[in-house]
Structure 1
Amino acid sequence: MSQILYIVVPCYNEEAVLHETARRLKDKLRSLEEKKVISPESRVLFVNDGSKDKTWEIIAQLHREDPVFSGVNLSRNRGHQNALLAGLMTAKDRCDMAISMDADLQDDVDAVDAMVEEYRGGCDIVYGVRSSRKKDTFFKRFTAEGFYRLMNFLGAETVFNHADYRLMSKRALEGLARFREVNLFLRGIVPMIGYRTGTVTYERGERFAGESKYPLKKMLAFAMEGITSLSTKPIRYITGLGFLIFFVSLVMLVWSIIRWAGGDTVIGWASVICSVWAIGGLILLSLGVIGEYIGKIYLETKGRPRFLIKEVLDSHEEG
């Protein structure tokens, strides 16, 4: 029996690419339906994350013209991760499996076939992993690969060169729904779900149209969000650094006493100034890291909703 697939696509100011994305995804669903791999009830679910352009109007138009397109309109902009979660949770009760991907068509649509095949082979989660970064500039490649290595080093388990292009079964989606974090980092949360996983490699293409929603500044903030949301290792490293500095200070104290006993009482101002600045910088850095964690605790204890849905367009629900 063919199973229902929902392709979840978060959108923020994507009017330039949306029609082409819709065309390619519709063709992909029709191709899989003809092979009797998925059910004709399968859908493309666009999630409007408070776009300022005509993204929602286009989604509504697509839905009116063809029921294969569904839409979720959030009450306001909540960020990529929350928009993606809203789409997955909306699809959870309507599908047997869901694939998440970005609207810019950099993710290879043809990799969907291999993902579904892995699912049919027994995998609950299938990760789309980039085969290479040859098309990236040296700076982009260096920072992106450094991002994944830093995340794993600091205890935030992620899949190398995997973003948010993945397939999740209904069981995996139900598992994801039990994670109640307000500070979302799905790339680190999904591996925690467990179950059988698989990977599909693909060549990532160029953005079809529009501008990237993740410049360097936003990527750095995203990395900080992931590290502080999933791991306490930075605090442990700060503790270790504190012990190291304390040990060095004891050594310096012994050395100063020995110098004083030998009659050498001239203390170099350069070493004092450097020490003061170094310790002061480390203290501020440590306070900043700890402050990040306290801020996250503050937000988690409030229990604010991660997203609010203003409107849902889906032929299943309307029927």
Structure 2
Amino acid sequence: MTMCDTLYIVVPCYNEEEVLPETARRLGDKLRGLMAAGKISPKSRVLFVNDGSRDGTWGVISRLHAADPLFSGVDLSRNRGHQNALLAGLMTARDRCDMAVSMDADLQDDVDAVDAMLEKYSEGCDIVYGVRSSRKKDTFFKRVTAEGFYRVMNFLGAETVFNHADYRLMSRRALDGLAEFREVNLFLRGIVPMIGYIVGTVEYERGERFAGESKYPLKKMLSFAMEGITSLSTKPIRYITLLGFLIFLVSLLMLVYSIVRWAHGDTIVGWASLICSVWAIGGLILLSLGVIGEYIGKIYLETKARPRFLIREILEDGNGKAD
């Protein structure tokens, strides 16, 4: 890493009007400090991505840019979801920087971990993951469900980094690699490890949300997990095949058992076992159809090749706007 290396901090924003001024203050102080220390280029910027917010988020971003060119902005045409907004920011930064750090706007990610990420980058790492050192501040339910999320994802074939969300540094080469992935169904936590190159990790203590509400309640986390699993792995379908084979074996054993009982003159059939079997098989069939349907839905969306995001406006240096 040299003084010429330009860093962009990409921050996707959805209804972050309350927290954005404080986020800008902290990130601005961090970039200015790194510039003063000669660790990054004066061309480095904070890039806020407005993901179709319904509050005054874009107005805040516009005012920040007007007051200080250190802050840039990307305004998406409509809400496209966190992963698409993050990708839009990274792809916008890609042609303007040597490396990009992605992080959320809620200030839970430790801004000071950027220094350690830069050290790893200077050692030759193309991707540096920010990994939580502990979950002591989480409630028992949050800790169990979050850790279970990563374990289930890895078990079902979606390779992820344990206790890592979307706080990471990516070099220009890694960003070019990310641009080669064209799928519409995005799950960056699983796609980025597929890029390869040299990786490193930095541990940090995750703080409390500065303001506003979490954008990932339990219901959305479950949906997010399903999106990641079906986007990156075919293991669930293989497990369904295995389950079907096991049920077939059980049916053969039950057939042998029934023949043996018939040979001994015992022809009384228990209706309870029959009803339970019917309900169990019916439930498994519906579950299997649902999983297969998820994959068919993914194929449907991928074949349409719809744009993952559309940018309405970009605020940057020069005349302040670019289409």
Q: TM-score, normalised by structure 2?
A: 0.98
Secondary structure at 1:315's aligned position in 2? coil
Tell me which residue corresponds to 1:266: 268
Partner of 2:119: 117
Q: Secondary structure at the match of 1:143?
A: helix
**Runs ≥4 in structure 1, deviation > 2 angstroms?**
316-319
Equivalent residue for 1:289? 291
- Residue 313 of structure 1 corresponds to 315
Residues of 1 paired with 2:11 and 2:119: CA distance?
A: 21
Structure 2 residue aligned with 1:48: 50
1:47-83 residue CA offsets vs partner (Å, 9 max, x unmatched):
0000000000000000000000000000000000000
Aligned-residue CA RMSD (Å): 0.9
**1:144 lines up with 2:146 in the alignment:** yes
Would you say how many aligned residue pairs link Structure 1 and Structure 2?
319
User: What amino acid sits opposite 2:302 in the alignment?
Assistant: E
Unaligned runs of 5+ in 1: none
In the other structure, the counterpart of 1:75 is 77
Q: 1:246 — aligned with what?
A: 248
Cα deviation code 1:110-149 (max 9, x no counterpart): 0000001110110000000000000000000000000000
- Partners in 2 of 1:299 and 1:116 — Cα distance? 38
Match of 1:88 among 67, 71, 90: 90
**1:22 equivalent in alignment to 2:32:** no
Q: CA deviation at 1:316?
A: 5.8
Q: What SS does the corresponding residue of 2:30 show, helix, strand or coil?
A: helix
1:318, distance to aligned residue in structure 2 (A): 4.8
SS at match of 2:238: helix
1:215 paired residue among 214, 217, 222: 217
The sequence identity of aligned pairs, in percent, is 82
Deviation of 1:261 after TM superposition, in Å, equals 1.1
> Letter of the aligned partner of 2:269 in structure 1?
I
Letter in 2 for 1:246: F
C-alpha distance after superposition, 1:242-268 (max 9, x if no partner) = 000000000000110110111000000
- Which residue in 1 is equivalent to 2:62? 60
SS of aligned partner of 2:85? helix
1:317 is displaced (CA, Å) by: 7.5
Q: What CA distance in whole angstroms lies between the structure 2 residues aligned with 1:214 and 1:112?
A: 24
Per-residue CA deviations over 1:8-55 (Å, capped at 9, x if unaligned) read: 000000000000000000000011011100001000000000000000
Task: Give per-residue Cα distances to partners, 1:278-319, cap 9 Å, x unaligned.
Answer: 000000000000000000000000000000000000116859
Counterpart code for 2:194: M
Matched, 1:236 2:235: no
SS of the residue corresponding to residue 102 of structure 1 reads: coil
Task: For residue 167 of structure 2, give the secondary structure of its aligned residue in structure 1.
Answer: strand
Distance 1:30 1:47 in 2: 21
TM-score, scaled relative to structure 1: 0.99
Unaligned runs of 5+ in 2: none
